[in-house]
Structure 1
Amino acid sequence: MTAHTIRRIPLSVALPAPFRGGVVAIGNFDGVHRGHQAVLDCALDKARALGVPALVLTFEPHPRQLFRPDVPLFRITPAPMRARLLGAMGFGAVVEQPFDRDFSCLPAEEFVARILVADLGIAHVVTGYDFHFGKDRQGTPQFLIEAGERLGFGVSRVEAFCDEGADAVSSSRIRSLLAEGDVAAAAGLLGYRYTVEAEIAHGQKLGRTLGFPTANMALPEGTDLAHGIYAVRLRRENGALHDGVASFGRRPTVTENGAPLLETYLFDFSGDLYGETACVSFFGFLRGEEKFDGLDALVARMRQDEAEARALLAGVRPLSPLDAAIAFAG
């Protein structure tokens, strides 16, 4: 599996002709975790069998942001990262349906007739076992099956995917693990290393004066990753990979109540990364964020963090083809 460019298409514009008549997987797919991948793999298999395009239909913003705007939502994979993962899996396009009050009131029958049939011209649709849609969640997988029989498209319903402990894999479980800093356990549920994407920006450049220049990235608001130090791998826009150690947090030794920032020190690298959009994959949690008594103590601990991260990263292997496409050389 190799990553390739995927088309992100807002459903406010007409779907390009080459994507009509395809197999469509429907869902929010926040995390694109192993449970989601069961649905997505089913859609890819069906598209190959029918010889038609494979697409994903999802919703932007996440419906919870509309219905509960006062509750911050930690999105495991914001739309650009989700699209990157879907492209790596082999989808040609992700159709992003604008989700607003008017759309939330759309009756289930109209969703099928207008969105699936008229706008997308689907041949087949794939959903999870618990997918609901339309006003008051009227639409169910069984509703889709009956509509498909009338309107001429097929439907596949994928049952819940459970991990090795027989527990259902869910985005909420993964969010909880990431909030604890347990990126290794989260990777087991995701099927790949948790990865963030952002532009590298100028910082205070204190790390440079200490001998640890960092690539600084502001993560999306609501990112509830535990503050601390991680062994990571950064992928540049040109595909080059660099191992490193990263701090995510408020930098208590050098600033008072700073905004959360991801600062990544790359091993054996010198160069200018400013302005690039990079991906950082998290392989292991080394320690929590600490406040040190001065810069000398901070530097000594950073040297220890570097040694531990190098040792951890020396033995890593891909968890899956998707992990290989995102966090390893292709």
Structure 2
Amino acid sequence: MTVFHRNETRQPLPDALRGGVIAIGNFDGVHRGHQSVLSRALDEAQARGVPALVLTFEPHPRSVFRPDQPVFRLTPAPLKARLLEGMGFSAVIEYPFDRTFSEITASDFIRTVLMEWLHASHVVTGFDFHFGKGREGGPAFLMAAGGENGFGVTLVDAFRDENASVISSSHIRAMLASGDVVGAAGLLGYRYTVAAEVIGGKKLGRTLGYPTANMRLPPEVELRNGIYAVRFRRPDGSLYDAVASFGKRPTVTSNGEALLETFLFDFSGDLYGEVSSVSFFGHLRDELKFDGLESLVVQMKQDDAEARALLAGVRPLGEIDRQIAF
């Protein structure tokens, strides 16, 4: 799959990708609601015999307008592209979003992006999609523009879960902030996953018999501190059941930075420098401060056993989950 980054969106689109079906949206999380839009685009592209592309925006518009309050991204751009590739899209266009772009009119967006650059034959988006300066372009505007410029438009209604609630990225973020990774997975359609480089640490875990792969997540990540049953995937695709701690390690430090520390079951080797991913299957307990290392190790053994038991019975939630966590 081709991913067009910020500087590449100013170059002509390859001929093989012109005239495709374009799914438009931020799609942070690629959750089940997003998947209903994305699947409709894939079906439309297959029926027409043309490529299916995703047009998304980087960075997240909210982070541009409120740089002091960066958005907790459920799926940073590389992970989002990986999920979209798994769904079957031919290309992802990460269009540069900045204040200058936010000032272009809805008509100019249609003309310069959809027509002159993408040569869109059909556009699929959510029923509440707005675009252009002051959000002047809405569903009616898009439908009219399609009629005038010769591209079709499909607007997809809000997707509701089994409780008839609309699925949203903000709701999923709130679930993760409370530690409810199981509930979040139900809305995402796959286990919440992070990816980062494995970095060096103080190697205390190794002296305790629990060497860990340490990762530094973006500061805006609002995952609840605690112990989790997880799966760890290396760049070569190998997958390991594991138990992970996310937090500031209050037993061994008084002012540590938040780290994700993962103990891989049945593994020995060097992981430093690898960009790996961790998928979350269950929150076992909150982060605690112990009286000393001995009581910490006793609890770690219990966490180890509980994580193994939980992971022994898991099954994929769907094809995306199978690709990233199984």
TM-score by length of 2: 0.97
Partner residue in 1 for 2:192: 194
Name the aligned partner's letter for residue 45 of structure 1.
Answer: D
Matched, 1:226 2:224: yes
1:198-249 Cα offsets, whole Å, 9 max, x none, are 1111111111111001111111220000000000001111111000000001
154, 158, 171: which one pairs with 1:156? 154
- Residue 33 of structure 2 corresponds to residue 40 of structure 1: no
1:29 to 18, 27, 42: 27
Task: Compute the displacement of 1:326 (Å).
Answer: 1.0
**Higher mean C-alpha displacement, 285-294 vs 8-17:** 8-17
Q: Is the 8 A contact 2:235 2:274 kept in 1?
A: yes
Residue 8 to residue 204, structure 1, CA distance change in 2 (3 Å): farther
Q: Secondary structure at the match of 2:93?
A: strand
- Paired positions, count: 324
Counterpart of 2:129 in structure 1 is: 131
Alpha-carbon distance between aligned partners in 1 of 2:15 and 2:216, rounded to the nearest angstrom: 38
Aligned partner of 1:327 in structure 2 is 325
> Could you tell me the TM-score, scaled by structure 1's length?
0.96
Checking the alignment, whether the CA contact within 8 Å between 1:217 and 1:262 is kept in structure 2 is yes
Contact 1:231 1:244 in 2 (8 A): yes
The corresponding residue for 1:7 is 3
One-letter identity of the residue aligned with 2:305: A
**Separation in 2, partners of 1:41, 1:151:** 24
Give the match's secondary structure for 1:234: strand
What residue number does 1:312 align with? 310
* Secondary structure of 1:119 counterpart: coil
Of 264, 267, 270 in structure 2, the residue corresponding to residue 269 of structure 1 is 267
Cα shift readout 1:86-131 (whole Å, capped 9, x = no counterpart): 1111112110111111100000000000001011111111000110
Amino acid at match of 1:255: T
- Per the TM alignment, residue 15 of structure 1 is displaced from its structure 2 partner at its CA by 2.0
Distance 2:201 2:16 in 1: 44
What's the CA shift for 1:67? Answer: 1.3
Q: 1:173 aligns to what SS in structure 2?
A: helix
Work out the CA distance in 2 between the residues paired with 1:260 and 1:87: 31
Which sections of structure 2, spanning at least 5 residues, go unmatched? none
Using the TM superposition, name which of 63-72 and 179-188 deviates more: 63-72
Deviations 1:255-307 (A, max 9, x none): 12211110000001011111111110000000000111111111110100000
Among candidates 282, 285, 288, match of residue 284 of structure 1: 282
- CA distance in 2 between counterparts of 1:137 and 1:241 reads 44
Whether contact under 8 Å (1:9, 1:15) holds in the other structure is no
Other-structure match for 1:75: 73
- Write out per-residue CA displacement over residues 171-213 of structure 1, whole angstroms, 9 at most, x where no aligned residue: 0100000000000000000000000011111111111111001
Unaligned runs of 5+ in 1: none
- Out of 198, 202, 205, the residue aligned to residue 204 of structure 1 is 202
Return the letter of the residue paired with 1:205: K
Name the SS of the counterpart of 2:111 in structure 1: helix
| Alpha carbons 2:64, 2:98 under 8 Å: kept | yes
Deviation at 1:84, TM superposition (A): 1.0
- For the Cα contact (< 8 Å) 2:190–2:320, is it kept in 1? yes
Paired residue type of 1:299: V
Preserved CA contact (<8 Å) 1:6 1:91: no
Deviates more, 1:12-21 or 1:130-139: 12-21
The structure 1 segments of at least 4 consecutive aligned residues displaced by more than 4 Å after TM superposition are none
Distance 1:7 1:71 in 2: 27
CA shift, 1:85, in A, is 0.9
> In structure 2, how many angstroms separate the alpha carbons of the residues matched to 1:118 and 1:8?
16
Q: Please give the alpha-carbon distance, in whole angstroms, between the structure 2 residues aligned to 1:23 and 1:257.
A: 51
| Mean CA deviation greater in 315-324 or 63-72 | 63-72
Q: Give the deviation of 1:6 after TM superposition.
A: 4.8
